[in-house]
Amino acid sequence: MIRANSIKLSLSYAVASKVKDYSQLMKFNLTFMVVFSSVVGYLLVPGVEFSLIKIVELFAGGLLVSGSANTINQLLEVETDKLMARTAVRPLPSGRVSETEARILAFATAISGVLIMAWAFNWLSAGLSLLSLVVYAFIYTPWKRWNSLAVLVGAIPGAMPLLIGWAAGADELGAGGWSLYALQFVWQFPHFWAIAWVGHKDYKNAGFKLLPNGSEPNRMIAIQAVMYTFLLIPLGGLPYLFRISGAISAVIVFLATLFFLYRAVNLYRKCDAAAARKLMFGSYIYLTIMQLALLADKVHNI
18 CB-contact burial (10 Å; exposed 0-12 / middle 13-18 / buried 19+): middle
How far is residue 7 CA from its own chain's centroid? 40
**Per-residue confidence (pLDDT) for residue 260, from 0 to 100:** 97
Share of the chain above pLDDT 70, in %: 94
Annotate 129-160 with DSSP letters as a single string. HHHHHHIIIIIIHHHTTT-TTHHHHHHHHHTH
pLDDT digits 0-9 by tens, 59-102: 999 999 999 999 999 999 888 888 777 787 888 888 888 899 99
**Per-residue confidence (pLDDT) for residue 10, from 0 to 100:** 56
The ranges of the chain with pLDDT < 70 are: 1-15, 214, 301-302
Q: Residue 30 belongs to what H/E stretch? A: helix 28-43
**Per-residue confidence (pLDDT) for residue 90, from 0 to 100:** 86
Q: Number of helices and strands (H, E) in the chain?
A: 16, 0
Mean pLDDT of the chain: 89
pLDDT digits 0-9 by tens, 22-71: 888 888 888 888 899 999 999 999 999 999 999 999 999 999 999 999 99
